[in-house]
């Protein structure tokens, strides 16, 4: 009874029942095939026959003779690379080896070993079924691009999320205030490296206004206390009422003056940054640096004997903040901060040089008459 034998190349061949158990060769690709009852089925007539084993003529019933194809030589795998009992048959390459599955305890918690797994198309790492990023090579399965871990990893993965004041909805109002002041005064480099350069001027303005107003209230209280001590001996109620009115007005007007000063000072500083080629970000980045620096150093300026030190340290924090926000060198940021002071000193020097001699001569002439 003839059978059909199908080669892996797709060629169908007719074999007689006496050929079962023998090895033949495909007439199309020359592949050596072991004929068994598992790989044959009853065959209709008119199918291309299979070449029987051996170089002689085909056995009866195998069809017309086909020139024999020399067998392909498959290099044997070293015995050390094969498990015991594993090896290729005569002329047949070995099947691919399957890596044994890890023991049940090796799977991560919650991982179902029966679920279908996906493979990273970039490096071939086996991934979770719901994975979207390969942790080995950084390939993003959604975009088809490799995630640059170095660019997005350093400095908060390239994404600025600070300072804490702008995350006060998660941290709490007072905790965010304290952490921001602490970061600006004690860790200005890290704080301004993580500071957002965009997102609006409302949050930094509110931060500066809060501390500036508190400083104004403390200053007004000290002014009233000192004035009361001086007027107590004179019993001058009118002068005391004037001092109280002035202190109250300064507290009420403090938020307006702070906001106006911040916008003016930020505009001048940003203009100086543009002059020295350091304005890598917009005006908002400069405003944010000055607002957080001003707010954090406002209270220190009210402490006796520390006000001057606080002003100098505030300038240092401002230089660091501008260099980190605009991603420029510290020297260029320092020039931009000192440029208004240099300009003011230059103008005063020119005025004194032009009108100083005449003013000095006038004072000398007025001296004897006085």
This prediction has a pTM of 0.53
Environment class of 121 (CB within 10 Å of its CB; exposed 0-12, middle 13-18, buried 19+): exposed
Q: State how far the Cα of 51 lies from the Cα of 28, in Å rounded to an integer.
A: 10
Please, what sign has the CA dihedral across residues 355, 361, 363, 366? Answer: negative
For residue 72, which phi and psi values (nearest 5 degrees)? Answer: -80, 140
Cβ atoms of 50 and 27 closer than 8 Å: yes
Q: Please give the sequence-ordered ranges of beta strands (E in DSSP) within 139-197, or none if there are none.
A: 139-140, 145-146
Cβ atoms of 262 and 290 closer than 8 Å: yes
Q: State how far the Cα of 283 lies from the Cα of 316, in Å rounded to an integer.
A: 20
Is residue 288 over pLDDT 90? yes
pLDDT of residue 352: 85
- Name the residue ranges covered by the structural domains of the chain: 3-42, 171-357
The answer to which of 2-6, 46-50, 110-114, 321-325 has the lowest mean pLDDT is 110-114
pLDDT of residue 240: 62
Binning pLDDT at 50, 70 and 90, where does residue 132 land? confident
What is the C-alpha radius of gyration for the chain, rounded to an integer number of angstroms?
44
Cβ atoms of 323 and 197 closer than 8 Å: no
Reported as a single tens digit per residue, the pLDDT across 134-154 is 777 777 777 777 655 434 444
The answer to which of 71-75, 217-221, 343-347 has the lowest mean pLDDT is 71-75
Residue 50 region by backbone torsions, left for phi larger than 0, else alpha for psi between -120 and 50, else beta? beta
Q: Please give the sequence-ordered ranges of beta strands (E in DSSP) within 64-157, or none if there are none.
A: 118-119, 126-127, 139-140, 145-146
Is the backbone peptide bond immediately before 67 cis, with ω within 30 degrees of 0? no
Binning pLDDT at 50, 70 and 90, where does residue 334 land? very high
Smallest CA-to-CA distance from 138 within 113, 162, 120 is with 120
For residue 35, which phi and psi values (nearest 5 degrees)? Answer: -90, 115
Environment class of 279 (CB within 10 Å of its CB; exposed 0-12, middle 13-18, buried 19+): buried
Reported as a single tens digit per residue, the pLDDT across 301-329 is 777 677 788 888 889 999 999 999 999 99
For residue 3, which phi and psi values (nearest 5 degrees)? Answer: -130, 165
Is residue 157 over pLDDT 60? no
Is residue 52 over pLDDT 70? no
What's the mean per-residue pLDDT of the chain? Answer: 76
Two tokens at 306? 């520390």
């Amino acid at each position: 009874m003839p059978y059909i034998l199908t080669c892996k190349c797709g060629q169908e061949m007719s074999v007689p029942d006496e050929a079962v158990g023998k090895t033949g060769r495909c007439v199309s690709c020359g592949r050596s095939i072991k004929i068994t009852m598992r790989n044959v089925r009853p065959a209709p007539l008119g199918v291309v026959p299979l070449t029987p084993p051996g170089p002689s003529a085909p056995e009866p019933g195998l069809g017309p003779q086909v020139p024999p194809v020399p067998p392909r030589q498959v290099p044997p795998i070293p015995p050390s690379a094969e498990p015991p009992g594993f090896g290729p048959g005569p002329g047949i390459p070995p099947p691919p080896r399957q890596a044994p599955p890890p023991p049940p305890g090796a799977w991560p918690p919650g991982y179902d070993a029966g679920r279908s797994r996906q493979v990273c198309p970039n490096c071939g790492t086996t991934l979770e079924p719901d994975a979207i990023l390969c942790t080995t090579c950084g390939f993003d399965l959604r975009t088809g691009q490799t995630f640059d871990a170095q660019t997005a990893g350093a400095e908060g993965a390239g994404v600025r999320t600070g300072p804490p004041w702008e995350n006060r909805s998660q941290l709490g109002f007072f905790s965010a205030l304290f952490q921001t002041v602490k970061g600006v005064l004690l860790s200005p480099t890290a704080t301004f490296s993580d500071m957002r350069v965009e997102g609006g001027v409302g949050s930094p303005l509110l931060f500066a206004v809060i501390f500036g107003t508190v400083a104004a209230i403390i200053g007004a209280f000290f002014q009233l206390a000192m004035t009361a001590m001086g007027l107590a001996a004179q019993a001058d109620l009118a002068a005391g009422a004037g001092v109280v009115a002035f202190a109250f007005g300064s507290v009420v007007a403090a938020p307006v003056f702070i906001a106006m000063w911040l916008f003016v000072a930020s505009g001048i500083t940003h203009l100086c940054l543009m002059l020295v080629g350091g304005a890598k970000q917009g005006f908002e980045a400069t405003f944010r640096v000055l607002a957080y620096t001003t707010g954090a150093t406002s209270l220190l300026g009210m402490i006796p004997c520390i006000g001057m030190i606080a002003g100098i340290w505030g300038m240092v924090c401002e230089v660091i903040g501008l260099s980190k926000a605009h991603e420029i060198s510290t020297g260029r940021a320092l020039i931009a901060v000192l440029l208004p002071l240099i300009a003011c000193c230059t103008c005063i020097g020119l005025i004194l040089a032009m009108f100083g001699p005449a003013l000095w001569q006038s004072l000398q002439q007025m001296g004897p008459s006085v």
